[in-house]
Amino acid sequence: MSETCQVDFYILARPTQSAGELACRLAMKAWTQGHSVIVCAESTEQAERLDELMWDCPPGRFLPHQRGEGEAPVGIVTQGEELTREGDLVINLTTEPVPDPSRFRRLLEIVPVSSGRRDASREKYRTYREQGLSPETHKMG
């Protein structure tokens, strides 16, 4: 993509806040605005949970999605799977930075409360800055 990728870190404030539910809400918002979305899950278990959440997220609505990258407006991949398509938006739930984020218009990093995940997110923040990007942070009440 010719534009610079906009990187946003969403920092969860409480252990009761669900990274998966926030990812679903953000994906729904992006999809209703006409964007394609890739959600990167930490594990197969998290990908399965996201798949379940998207069937009723928010309650009473279906978010069209599929596992892997394909024709659905929202694709769910797991850490280590290569992101082969360029797209509008990536939501990253993994501990690793997204490779070559400039392929995407927007990258959303969701940061859970646990200290280990916060440390990994700080490292991702530094990595993106070193790549010439300007990440922004948003604290989620």
Q: Is the pTM of this model over 0.85?
A: yes
Laid out side by side, the sheet with 87-92 consists of 65-67, 74-78, 37-41, 87-92, 104-111, 6-12, 136-140
pLDDT digits (tens, 9 = 90+) for 58-88: 677 788 887 876 788 888 999 877 777 666 8
Per-residue tokens: 100: 């070559």
Sorted by where each begins, the domain ranges of the chain are: 6-140
Region 6-33: what's the mean pLDDT?
92
Q: Please state which architecture CATH assigns to domain 6-140.
A: 3-Layer(aba) Sandwich (3.40)
d(CA 78, CA 13) in angstroms, rounded, equals: 25
